[in-house]
Amino acid sequence: MSNKSIMSNFLLLEFSQVRELQFLHLIAFLTVYLATVTGNLLIIFSIALNHHLHTPMYLLLMNLAIQDIGQISVTVPKSMFNILLNTRHISYSGCVAQVFFFYSFVASDFFVLTVMAYDRYVAICNPLHYEMVINRNVCRDMIIGVWVTGFLYAGLHTTGTFATHFCSNIVNQFFCEIPQLIKLTCSDLNLLEMTAIGVGVVLALGCFVYILVTYMHIFTTVLRLPSTKGRQKAFSTCIPHLTVCSTFFFTACFAHLKPVSNTPSLLDLVFALIYSFVPPMLNPVIYSIRNKEIKKAMAKVLGFRNFSTNT
């Protein structure tokens, strides 16, 4: 298979050839997937059905939940489906779609985390100007910008990856990951893909540096608060956010910038699992466990009328 015109499918990584172990992987994937989707759906419905939460902070959180569901739904169901059928195949068009939607959701996820850092900065460092700086119209424009930028970035990456010839169809990953696909090409990186990689590095590094600088300002402001309770509340909101961003950034960068091995690598698999599974799974917990308004809204959605926010 030396030409993309006759490349009808790709073969994804098989976790094990033992059928019993395959079902263990299926159960693990299904558990993580259901927990992630359920948690994020609770966030979405809790905010959507509670008009009191239709503020910029919660609307950004709802968009993050939507992107998290999209990110994990692009890869995990196909992997589970392959395990059930005891196959490794994904069609060429399916691989293209998986690359486009996965990277659009990943990029949008990181962009919205950056916007959320800005939202926290204004709320904590300039609370008197919050309503003027971040109102509903500004929030809408930022959300639209996040989605459009994510789709444009994914389109650039997808076009650059598949505008070449493939000499093999064996992908050493459980989904169509760009570094693994680039390894299969017959030629060196084309200009378009090099541009996409450069743009990705600049955007990711720029967003991460901005998040770090923003939180330095936030922590400086928080340490000046006279109230110990106020400091604890601010830290409990910001530190988990920063932890998710750091985990997301470092694992994704490591997976995409390190040299790709010619054989299946446990390290490649582990880092792919971390950046594709951990943020979508933990975001609902991190952003709701210390938020009384979200917990009250969730209790209302679940029908717990006498729910205590201290539970």
Task: Please state, in angstroms and rounded to a whole number, the distance separating the CA atoms of residues 16 and 14.
Answer: 6
Task: Please state, in angstroms and rounded to a whole number, the distance separating the CA atoms of residues 114 and 288.
Answer: 18
Single out the residue of 245, 242, 247, 250 nearest to residue 216, CA to CA: 242
Q: Which domains are assigned to the chain?
A: 9-302 (1.20.1070.10)
Task: Please state, in angstroms and rounded to a whole number, the distance separating the CA atoms of residues 110 and 105.
Answer: 9
Strand partners, 90: 10
Task: Please state, in angstroms and rounded to a whole number, the distance separating the CA atoms of residues 297 and 50.
Answer: 7
Global confidence as pTM: 0.86
pLDDT in tens, 289-298: 667 777 787 7
In angstroms, the first-to-last Cα distance of the chain is 59
- Angle subtended at Cα 203 by Cα 201 and Cα 206, rounded to the nearest 5 degrees: 100
- Residue 82 and residue 16 in contact, taking contact as beta carbons nearer than 8 Å: no
What's 117's DSSP letter?
H
Burial class (CB in 10 A: 0-12, 13-18, 19+), 159: middle
pLDDT in tens, 216-268: 888 888 877 776 766 676 666 677 777 778 877 887 777 777 766 666 677 88
Letter for the amino acid at 255?
A: A
Could you tell me the pLDDT band of residue 16, with boundaries at 50, 70 and 90? confident
| Selection from 25-29, 270-274, 276-280 with the highest mean pLDDT | 25-29
Could you tell me the pLDDT band of residue 309, with boundaries at 50, 70 and 90? very low
* Number of Cβ within a 10 Å radius of residue 202: 10
